[in-house]
Amino acid sequence: MRRKSFEDAECPIARGIDQVGDWWSLLILRDAFDGLTRFDQFERSLGIAPGMLTRRLRGLVEDGLLTRVAYSQRPPRHDYRLTERGKALRPVLIALYAWQNRLTPEADRTMVLVDRDGVTVDPVLVDRRTGKSLGELGARFVPGPAAGDGMRRRLDRHSEGTS
């Protein structure tokens, strides 16, 4: 994955995409949330070439999203488990699910998010403190304490935004 310019290194969305913004890495994480832990499980689930899977798993471990844990000494065997940082990514995958599912007629849905009683859950982003939706709050991005000139220009442009 090509790393981006200095301005983008400042953007938390760009940094996030840089860590997980490729097909395979996101699908490996999806499988990890589904309880898969072993190389051969990921390989079978994804139909991915072993060399490709090795590189992606290594990248996810380097980025601190998965951790590699020995579960057998002889023969040496490892599995891959989500770190706290990796687990914290679940809302991104759930938001992606919600986006797709809202576009899919109910009868055509292959996966549904439910609560303990099997009642469908419709995930929506709200502000933790007030419980209000982001639309209701008119939520928008402003430069933070560490924003450089590039980020300030980006977000100024936003406030003059055409959409």
Q: How far is the CB of 51 from a copy of itself (least distance, A)?
A: 14
Q: What 3-state DSSP class applies to 82?
A: strand
Based on the number of CB atoms within 10 Å of its own CB, is 25 exposed (0-12), middle (13-18) or buried (19 or more)? buried
Residues composing the chain = 163
Residue with the two structure tokens 């590189």 = 55
- 22 part of the interface to a copy of itself, by CB under 8 A: yes
Rounded distance between C-alpha atoms, residue 54 and residue 79, angstroms? 12
The tokens describing 60, both together, are: 């996810």
- 147 part of the interface to a copy of itself, by CB under 8 A: yes
Half-sphere exposure of 73 (CA within 13 A, CB side): 0
Q: How far is the CB of 146 from a copy of itself (least distance, A)?
A: 5
C-beta of 51 vs 145, nearer to a copy of itself: 145
- 115 part of the interface to a copy of itself, by CB under 8 A: yes
- 72 part of the interface to a copy of itself, by CB under 8 A: no
- 104 part of the interface to a copy of itself, by CB under 8 A: yes
Query: According to CB under 8 A, which one of 50, 73, 125, 149 is a site residue for a copy of itself?
Result: 125
Q: How far is the CB of 158 from a copy of itself (least distance, A)?
A: 5
C-beta of 7 vs 61, nearer to a copy of itself: 7
Rounded distance between C-alpha atoms, residue 115 and residue 70, angstroms? 33
Query: According to CB under 8 A, which one of 27, 61, 78, 83 is a site residue for a copy of itself?
Result: 27
Rounded distance between C-alpha atoms, residue 138 and residue 150, angstroms? 24
For residues 89-101, b (16+ Cβ closer than 10 Å) or e, as one string?
Answer: beeeeeeeebeeb
Query: According to CB under 8 A, which one of 67, 78, 83, 155 is a site residue for a copy of itself?
Result: 155
C-beta of 76 vs 131, nearer to a copy of itself: 131
C-beta of 3 vs 74, nearer to a copy of itself: 3
